[in-house]
Structure 1
Amino acid sequence: MFRLAHFSDIHLGPLPDISYRELASKRITGYINWRRNRRFSLDHGIIDRITTDMLAAGPNHIALTGDLVNLALDKEIELAKLWLEALGDPQDISVVPGNHDAYVPGALKRACRAWAPFMTGDHAPPPTGRRGFPFIRVRGSLAMIGVSSARATAPLLASGHFSDGQARKLAALLDEARERGLFRVVMIHHPPVRGATHAAKRLYGISRFQKIVRRHGAELVLHGHTHLATVHRIDGPDGPVPVVGVAAAGQAHGSAKTPAHYNLFDIDGAAGSWRVRFTRRGISAGEEISDISSSTLY
């Protein structure tokens, strides 16, 4: 059995000191949002409790689907690097970036350089930006395939993009992993499902992504971004493919969003006969971490 853990949308805080020059961009709207909303709804003590419980569950690998930071300040990116290094060995943790990690032009490249050990595919050079994706990392019976939907956008927008170039590379990696009999997990920040979020936060290229999965297959798609506990399904060549979202890892109770949790997938079997047990563990109404739900995906 292979145990895979999934969490997302860390939004590490509090924000470091920020200069007027750094605010002279889209960051001003994000800073206002942080001051008015996000700093109250995200509890970074909860992040510590979530990650401690997740590590105690003994996962063979951890998938982190983006938004480690808030405004992509240099100090935030460096803090996130140190936080990742404290979390575990880069070989055991796979990361894809989110829209907050690419908040302003140039931020994605800086994040990729800082977090490269967690985003580098097997026998591949470290990513230096969007062109470094998708990557593939084979761990046991799993192929972890990381796609980047992150890009800098205009103020009040948080959309993502899945390009033709990534689509071609993803198709090749999915075929390669299928030929090796691997369980294929695709990681992406934005949900590749219509109606999963409103237009300003949507993924451009949903049809392109779903076409690739429909033709080439996948066993599981993981995403973040919405801060919600969701399970959708999209068509694959051998039947529906689960698309699983997760709450923000520090989301406190009392918000409209789902309280903090992480996902566990216990994966067994072989190509054509996979068995997947899916458990959500997170903060309950009594502030204890426990199983929220458990089900069978396959």
Structure 2
Amino acid sequence: MFRLAHLSDIHLGPLPEVSYRELASKRITGYINWQRNRKRAMFGDTLLEIVADMKRHRPDHVAVTGDLVNLATRLEVDGAREWLGDLGKPDWVSLVPGNHDAYVPGALARAFREWDAYMRGDAGLEQNDKRFPYMRIRGPVAIIGTSSAEATVPFMATGSFRRKQALATARLLAQARGLGLFRVVLIHHPPISGAAPWSKRLIGKQFFSRVIHDAGAELVLHGHTHLDTLYWLQGPGGTQVPVCGVPSASQNAGHRKPAARYNIFEIEGGPGEWSLTQRERGYTMDGARIDWVRERQLLNNGTAVDARPRVDLPPARREEDNVPS
């Protein structure tokens, strides 16, 4: 059995001091959002305790689907590098960036320099001339990292998945299939219509869906929405591919989004006969302890167990849901 852990939307806090020059950009909207909302919802020992709990369960590998920082200032990006070092060695952690990591023009390039070792494919594998997609092989699993992160204008938090990256991703998926591997695709934005508000959607999700339809995969992991979600995309020959989101790893209990959680995916079997179980663990609603939230089998002997969309929604939508996340 191979056990893959999934964390997302780290949003390392507290926010460092921000200069007037740094605020003279889209960062001003994110700074206001932090002061109004995230400062209360994402500060304390939540992330430390979630990571410590995850490590106690000894996963074979960890996938992190973006948003390590908030405003992508230099101090935040440097701090995230230190956090990654504490999380684990680069060969044990695979990372893709989120929209907050690309908050303003130039920020993503700095993140690439500082977090490089966590976003590199294995030597000798087919590699695109760009950084993404990349592929890593760990045991029976191929981890394929893609990027939807890009700088956007104020009040927008969209991502994109363009044709060139789609073609390269399809090639890696085909290569992994030829090696008889269980294929996991990482992306920050959910590649599902309606899974995120219009201002936070994935542009080019049709390219992503076509890649999965034509090349196939066994699992897609994303973040961005801070929700526990399960959707399905159609793969080759009518197969169904689970698409799983996870709440923010930093979210305190008692707010409108689910408290901090992580997933462990248990992978067994072989080509055409894969079995996949999701075990979700996180804070109880009152924030008193970390416990098991649910267990569900997604694939059994290569077949989807229950291919119906599922989502744990917050109690009510509020206006600040439209503030860029």
Band of TM-score, shorter chain:
over 0.9
The Cα of 1:124 is off from its aligned counterpart by: 6.9
Give, in whole Å, the separation in 2 of the partners of 1:95 and 1:153: 21
Contact 1:134 1:145 in 2 (8 A): yes
Q: Report the counterpart of residue 120 of structure 2 in structure 1.
A: 120
Query: Is the counterpart of residue 296 in structure 1 residue 286 in structure 2?
Result: no
Instruction: Tell me how far 1:123 sits from its aligned partner.
Output: 1.2
2:195 corresponds to: 196
- TM-superposed CA distance for 1:251, in Å, is 0.8
Q: State the distance in 2 between where 1:138 and 1:20 align.
A: 44
Asked if structure 1 preserves the Cα contact closer than 8 Å seen for 2:249 and 2:260, the reply is yes
- Give the equivalent residue in structure 2 for 1:10: 10
Alignment map for 1:171-186 (pairs within 5 Å): 171-186=170-185
Residue 55 of structure 1: SS of its match in structure 2?
A: helix
Structure 2 counterpart of 1:84? 84
Q: How does 1:157-176 map to 2 (within 5 A)?
A: 157-176=156-175
State the one-letter code of the partner of 2:294.
S
5 Å matches for 1:127-138?
131-138=130-137
Counterpart in the other structure of 2:236: 237
CA contact (8 A) 2:259 2:285 kept: no
Kept in 2, the 8 Å contact 1:251–1:258? The answer is yes
- CA separation in 2, counterparts of 1:275 and 1:220? 11
* Equivalent residues of 1:12, 1:44 under 8 A apart: no
- The within-5 A match list for 1:5-44 is 5-44=5-44
1:208 lines up with 2:195 in the alignment: no
For the residues of structure 2 that align with 1:208 and 1:11, how far apart are their CA atoms? Answer: 28
Question: What's the offset of the Cα at 1:285?
Answer: 2.7
Q: Which amino acid aligns with 1:272?
A: G
Distance 1:69 1:155 in 2: 17
Q: Residue deviations 1:12-70, cap 9 Å, x none?
A: 01111111001000000000000010111113411001000101111000000000000
Higher alpha-carbon deviation: 234-243 or 182-191: 234-243
Does structure 1 retain, via aligned residues, the 8 Å contact 2:254–2:285?
no
List gaps (5 residues or longer) in structure 2. Answer: 300-325
Q: Quote the sequence identity (%).
A: 52
Secondary structure of the equivalent of 2:227? coil
Preserved CA contact (<8 Å) 1:279 1:295: yes
Cα deviations by residue, 1:155-202 (Å, 9 ceiling, x for unpaired): 000000001110010010000000000000000000000000110000
2:282 counterpart SS class: strand
SS in structure 1 at match of 2:195: coil
Aligned equivalent of 1:94? 94
Contact 2:6 2:64 in 1 (8 A): yes
Deviations 1:215-236 (A, max 9, x none): 0000000000000000000100
> How far apart are 1:131 and its partner, in Å?
2.8
Stretch deviating more after TM superposition (279-288 or 48-57): 279-288
RMSD: 1.3
Structure 2 partner of 1:224: 223
Question: In 2, are the aligned partners of 1:192 and 1:210 still within 8 Å (CA)?
Answer: yes
- Tell me the distance in 1 between the aligned counterparts of 2:44 and 2:212: 36
Deviation at 1:276, TM superposition (A): 1.0
Supply the AA of the counterpart residue of 1:45. Answer: D
Code of the aligned partner of 1:106: G
State the SS of the aligned residue for 2:34: helix
Q: What TM-score results when the alignment is normalised by the length of structure 2?
A: 0.89
For 1:124 and 1:188, the matched residues in 2 are separated by 23
Q: Is the 8 A contact 2:230 2:243 kept in 1?
A: yes
Moved over 6 A (4+): none
Q: Distance in 2 between matches of 1:262 and 1:158?
A: 23
Contiguous gaps of at least 5 residues in structure 1: none
